[in-house]
Structures are given as structure tokens and as C-alpha cells.
Amino acid sequence: MAITDGGEAQALALLTSGEAGAMLAVAYAPRAVHSWAVHSVHHRPGAGVTVGYQVVVTAEVGYAAGANPGASMGTAARDLPKVPTGAAVRSGASNNFAGGAGPSAAATATATEEKYVCASTAQLSRPDLPFLKHMTHGGVQVTLWEYPYDPELPALAVACSPRKMSELLGKRVGVELKSYRPTRRAVVRVVDEAGKGAFAKVLKPPAAGSLAKRHHMLTAAGVPAPRVLAENEQGLVLISQLAGEPLANALGRGLLGQARAVLDSLEATLDALPDSVMQLSRRAAWSDRVEHYAHAAATALPQIRSRAEAVAHGVRQILSTVPAGPLQPVHGDFYEANIFLRNIPETTAPASPNTTSTRPQGRIQEGTRGRVQGGRLEAGIIDVDSLGPGYRVDDWACLLGHMSVLPHLAPASYPHIRHDLESFCRMLEYRVSPPALYARCAGVTLSLVAGAARVDGTPWEEDALGRLTEAENWLRRAQSFLGPVDPRQPRKLR
């Protein structure tokens, strides 16, 4: 069957079940699949399911070169970095399958190869590439390929090879794969012999060009963001490291009384986004796709379908009636992992009494639980793929929504997050429309429900239910403002 919204649950179940072993055996026949394990699951509502597998293939003697029909699934690459451990790992799924008739009894195994294989139901732009294998298994049409030969990411094989990256950059470098989302993107850390690091982002070629353009805009405007160091036409963009530490680290220690200084630094960076950003293509905000995320949540956990759909409906109602504010430059994916904080020490003479600084003052130091000392706090941004026109309220909602799931994702790591989150909420109610903000928080949080799902046997339903409850809480909070007070405006300072 072709994949549709109704078939995604079937595809997801098939590709993460024991049937996946039989599928891999057929794909590699007549070679033997010695063992396999589900490593990661990627579900994009309406766009298909992709599952990554760690596979051990036992090579057999007795076959003439080119006689193996599975050979088109890529070739061995000895210098490739391993795919990092993902959130969804099925380490216990190890099954033995023998594909095809195999060689004669006299033939013996001569080598074992570890491979990373992706099976996807997504529509590909180049389905005719020679390293792809198309098959129908269990009624689901699937395309398979071996990392790093991703059909949508032609630069991945270069970025993941120290030799090829060294040739591209003209100096010896090492590489480490940090993340890989099949058909969408990959991030590779690149380090030279002097220990200087950078990040290679691998995207579809058109998207890579758009990303480089966005970085150049920010650099020209003086916005704290990585600089472009190199790029190629195959979809690779090499960017510099950004100074500072992720906001997530500061949230782990607790902002406590310094939440305002942090929030002001974030707002200053958003205010600094250049007007040229308004000429870029606009990306849909998370809450704009709320129905898709309700579907994804229900696919991961069918018993919550009615609750997820109720949140989506409530969010859509508010979005259609409460103005979001003016269209302006936005980051588009503004949350704690994409925001870096840096302390700028005060090294200049005191300002004139007639001069007022609008930049947040103070510094947040590691180990001090957010205490502020002299200096200036600067917020930098990474992952600017979604930079473009939008609504400021969506950037704030992205941040608050992500913060609200941290107690469910890693409760021991964020002991102060409830306090910091409420501090941000109270301040933001005076900067943007509260119901517009909180309805969008509900949409963002709903988009994170499906991400709790795991396939390694680790309990995750409580995490997913906790995220859904947060989305419901945000929606109720938004609805509480739909009374006699004008919901279109921020609260007035008392």
C-alpha cells in the first residue's frame, strides 16, 4: 500500500517489529543478516516514516563480484563515524536471518560488516539512484539505503569522511557525527589538528543554500550567530562554533532571581534580527501545524487521540480569533538548545550619567545557580534554518513550550524549571497577548508528545502523557484570558 495518514501507524508498527528482520534479510539476500536492532524512529505526519537500523552482515565467499543483488545498498566505508545513539534504541532486538539460498556448504564466512540501514516510506526526489533498494514488505512500500548514502543528502558521504573533508578544507581534520535525521539533515563536528572545532551542516542542496544565506545576513547585522566558513553545492555548510553555553545548562542550574536579565538578553537578540529577514520565505510556526502533531501523537499513543485532537481544536479556535501581533523577523525554532548565553565582562569606562544602556547587565556563572555579577549578558542563536518573517509570540511560545516538557523529559536535571518558567510567563504576559502566547505554547507542546516514544523497552508513556497534560494546561491558561479583558493586547503594567 502507498503510505497515507491512515497507513502511517501500520508502517510504524511494521518497521519496528520483528518483521523488520525479515525485510532486511530479503534486502541483503543472498548475504546473511547476522543481527539487527532498531536504532531510531522518525515520523513526520503526512510525510512518511523512516526507521534506522544497526545491522551486522556476514559476508560469504563463493559469489562472483557483482553477483550479489544487495550490493547496490552501498559499499563499505572504513573511516565513517558511527551514527550517534538516538532517543529510540532497541538494543535487545537481535535476530538471526539467512537471506536467500546462500553459497554452497563449502563456503564459509570471511568477514562481518556493521552497517547503518534506513528504511523509509517517504517520497524521494530521486528514487532512481543506484544505491537504493525498493521493496514491498507486509503491504508497505519501503525504500532502503545504507548510511552515509542518503538519497536526499548528497553531501553526507563527504561530511562523514575525514579524508574527503580534509581534501575539501585543505587541511587535516577529524569528524564526529552529532545527529542524523534521514532525508532531512545531519550535523557533523569537524576538528582540525590544532583542536579548533566547527560544525558541518548537511541539508538538501536548496535548503543548504538558504541556510548559508541566513547566516550571512546575521553576520552582516552583528547578531551573535555562527559564521559560514565554507560551503559547497552538494548541500554542505561549514559554520563556526558559537561562544557561550546553551540556555539549557543555565536552566539546569536555575535562573532564580535572574530570569529577567536572561529574558531581556533574549529579547535584545530578537530585536537585533535585521529587516532583511523579512525578504526570506516564511516558515510555518509549530502551532500552524497543530492538527498534524495531534495525528502524530495519536499514532504514537492511540488512546490519547481524542485528547490530542481536542487540544488541536482549541488551539485552532484561538489562533483564528486572537491576533498574533505584527509580522516581524523571527528565529522560528527558539528554544533552550538553540540559544547560547555568554558573559561579556565590563572592560570599558563607566557610561556617562546621561547615557542609558538598553542591554541586560550582569553575568550568569557556572556553579552559582544563576547569581548575577558585573558584566553584560549576551544571547546568541544557532540552528537558524527557520529564520524569516513571523510573529514574535511564536518564538516565545516555542521557548515556553519546550521548557514545560523538561520536567517530564529529565526531571532530576531541571529542579528549578517550574519557577523559571512561571517567571518567564509573568513577564511575557506584559509583552505579548497572553491568550495568543499560551495557545501557541499548547501547540508547541503538543508537537513534542510523539517525540517521547521509544522502542527500546524503556517506559515512555508517562513522559508522553505528561507532555500532553502540559499542552492541555497551556490551552486552559489561554482560555482563561478570553474574558472581559481585551485578549488582543498584552497586559498593562500596573
pLDDT in tens, 381-430: 999 999 999 999 999 999 999 999 999 999 899 999 999 999 999 999 99
Write out the residue limits of the CATH 3.90.1200 domain(s) in the chain.
245-480
User: Residue 79's pLDDT is what?
Assistant: 58
User: Bridge partners of 329?
Assistant: 389
Q: What is the pLDDT of residues 31-60, one digit of tens each?
A: 889 999 999 988 877 788 999 999 999 865
Which ranges of the chain have pLDDT less than 70? 1-6, 59-82, 84-110, 347-374, 484-494
Place of cell 583542536: 195
- Into which CATH architecture does domain 156-240 fall? 2-Layer Sandwich (3.30)
Predicted local confidence at residue 320, as pLDDT? 96
Query: What are the φ and ψ backbone dihedral angles of 368, each rounded to 5 degrees?
Result: -105, 5
CATH number of the domain at 245-480, out of 3.40.630, 3.30.1600, 3.90.1200, 3.40.1130? 3.90.1200
Q: What separation, in Å, do the N-terminal and C-terminal C-alpha atoms of the chain show?
A: 61
Domain with CATH 3.30.200.20 in the chain: 156-240
Give CA–CA dist 262/265, Å, rounded. Answer: 5
Cell numbers placing 144:
532502503
**Crossing angle between the packed helical segments 290-300 and 305-321, to the nearest 10 degrees:** 170
pLDDT given at position 345 = 84
Beta bridge partners of 364: 372
pLDDT at 308: 98
DSSP character at residue 69 = G
**How does the average pLDDT of the chain come out, rounded?**
85
**DSSP per residue, 255-310:** -GGGHHHHHHHHHHHHHTS-GGGGGSPPPPPGGGGHHHHHHHHHHH-GGGHHHHHH
Q: What's phi and psi for 134, nearest 5 deg? A: -100, 135
> What type of residue is 378?
E
Q: What is the pLDDT of residue 458?
A: 83
Contacts of 123 (CB under 8 A, 6+ apart): 47, 48
